[in-house]
Amino acid sequence: MDVLITGGDGFVGQHLCSELIDRGHDVTSLSRTPDPSVLPDEVTLTQGDVTDYDSIEGAFEGKDVVVNLAALPPLHQPPRETSHDSVCIGGSINAVEAAEEHGVTKFIEMSSLGADPNGEIAYWRTQGLGEEVVRCSDLDWIIFRPSFIFGGGSETFTFIKQYTTPYVTVLPDGGKMPEFQPIWVGDCVKMFADGVESDDHVGEVYELAGPEVLTFAEVTRLLYKADGKSVEIVPVPMLIATITLYALDPIPQIPLGINQARALQLTNVTDRNDIGVFGFDKSDLTGLSTYLEGKQKKPKQQQIAANTS
Ligand SMILES: NC(=O)c1ccc[n+]([C@@H]2O[C@H](COP(=O)([O-])OP(=O)(O)OC[C@H]3O[C@@H](n4cnc5c(N)ncnc54)[C@H](OP(=O)(O)O)[C@@H]3O)[C@@H](O)[C@H]2O)c1
């Protein structure tokens, strides 16, 4: 198949491009600043901005499947020249329109667990509205809502180490929140690639989550433990952390604010984990602690074969 991936050189995209190349597909990655150094040589790179229709439209010609990964991370406030609204909503509108214009067969929208058109946090609200755009299209669509995805190149690891310290660190409410159900990128991309290849998933919304529910404090401890360091966590009241982040919001040089304050109270877990649809059981998934100990589980070859039609 000929597959276009918007945001193909981002964290998830790099792993998905490799998976699709390994499965024998033709892959094109579209982003604003294409970076060939992070992608297999077989991937074609093209430059475009999903907020600018004319800059992306041509890349959709002749494609069988589009995977829309272009997004801004939720960890920091976006730079002033862009926004979650323009990339997640505007970008989805442009990508869907270009896909319809060029007769693309299937459109896969990467949303995330907690996506909610009425949500209070810009990232999840715009993901929810991006989903609506795709649902209203004439395309054969699939929507994935993964939880926090971890693995090589994960910005979340960098973020945690940027704002915490080994041995003793301060966390709002002792890091009891947010709660996550982290899923390994190596497991995720197998499910996304099955979505690309199989006709069984059209019109479905899949929530994907890892084998364990972990708090921010637990993720922080695991990260430092992998470096051979312990962490004593000193709680700071949530109210103080929230007031501080609200006060920082108008300062352009500080990329933290109201959205991050709201995200501190998040429970990003699901009771409805759809990994089973792709032949996975919780015990097949690589958990964060296992990953950090360098013991990723082997890919499920029989599952890949079963889903490759
Ligand atoms: N990572 C996670 O834990 C996680 C969890 C759940 C869902 N997701 C979803 O998975 C998708 C990919 O996430 P990720 O972690 O791989 O993000 P990422 O590492 O930040 O990559 C984002 C990609 O989008 C591109 N991009 C951003 N703005 C763009 C624009 N205006 N036009 C074209 N390309 C643009 C970036 O390249 P340029 O900056 O060069 O344009 C980059 O290639 C997103 O939809 C995200 O919401 C991620």
DSSP for 229-254 reads --EEEEEE-HHHHHHHHHHHTT-TTS
Q: What spacing in Å lies between the alpha carbon of 10 and ligand 1's midpoint?
A: 5
Q: What is the CATH number of the domain that holds 235?
A: 3.40.50.720
Q: What's the pLDDT score for residue 213?
A: 97
CA-nearest residue, atom 18 of ligand 1: 10
Pair 172, 236: CB distance under 8 Å: yes
User: Within a domain: residue 40?
Assistant: yes
Report residue 52: phi and psi, to 5°: -125, 100
pLDDT digits (tens, 9 = 90+) for 162-189: 999 999 999 999 999 999 999 999 999 9
Single out the residue of 144, 254, 143, 293 nearest to residue 209, CA to CA: 144
Answer yes or no: is the C-beta of 33 below 6 A from any ligand 1 atom.
yes
DSSP for 159-173 reads HHHHH--SEEEEEEG
Between CA 239 and CA 246, with CA 243 as vertex, the angle to 5 degrees is 140
Answer yes or no: is the C-beta of 123 below 6 A from any ligand 1 atom.
no
For β-strands 179-180 and 214-215, DSSP reports them as antiparallel
CA-nearest residue, atom 13 of ligand 1: 12
Mutate to test the pocket of ligand 1, among 37, 43, 69 (most ligand atoms within 8 A of CB): 69
User: Within a domain: residue 259?
Assistant: yes
pTM over the 0.85 mark: yes
Residue percentage of the chain with pLDDT more than 70: 95
Residue 144's Cβ-side half-sphere holds a number of Cα atoms within 13 Å equal to 28
Residue 257, strand partner residues? none
Q: What's the pLDDT score for residue 202?
A: 98
- The contacts of residue 251 (CB under 8 Å, 6+ apart) are none
User: Within a domain: residue 306?
Assistant: no
**Statement: residue 49 has pLDDT above 70:** yes
Answer yes or no: is the C-beta of 146 below 6 A from any ligand 1 atom.
yes
Token duo for residue 130 = 């991006």
Q: What spacing in Å lies between the alpha carbon of 69 and ligand 1's midpoint?
A: 5
Mutate to test the pocket of ligand 1, among 5, 9, 12 (most ligand atoms within 8 A of CB): 12
Calculate mean pLDDT across residues 145-155.
93
Residue percentage of the chain with pLDDT more than 90: 91
Q: What's the pLDDT score for residue 99?
A: 98
Query: What is residue 37's DSSP assignment?
Result: G
Ligand 1 closest atom vs CA 127: 47
| Residue 247 domain boundaries | 2-300
Q: How many domains does the chain have?
A: 1
User: Within a domain: residue 129?
Assistant: yes
Answer yes or no: is the C-beta of 288 below 6 A from any ligand 1 atom.
no
Token duo for residue 69 = 């990964």
Q: What spacing in Å lies between the alpha carbon of 91 and ligand 1's midpoint?
A: 12
User: Within a domain: residue 95?
Assistant: yes
Report residue 124: phi and psi, to 5°: -75, -35
User: Within a domain: residue 242?
Assistant: yes
Residue 12, strand partner residues? none
Measured distance CA(229)–CA(224) in Å, rounded: 5
User: Within a domain: residue 91?
Assistant: yes
Single out the residue of 5, 24, 136, 122 nearest to residue 69, CA to CA: 5
Q: What's the pLDDT score for residue 252?
A: 87
Answer yes or no: is the C-beta of 16 below 6 A from any ligand 1 atom.
no
Measured distance CA(53)–CA(99) in Å, rounded: 11
Q: Which residues of 47-81 are buried (b: 16+ CB within 10 A; e: fewer)?
A: ebbbbebebbbebbeebebbbbbbbbebbbbbeee
**Statement: residue 301 has pLDDT above 90:** no
User: Within a domain: residue 307?
Assistant: no
Residue 227's Cβ-side half-sphere holds a number of Cα atoms within 13 Å equal to 12
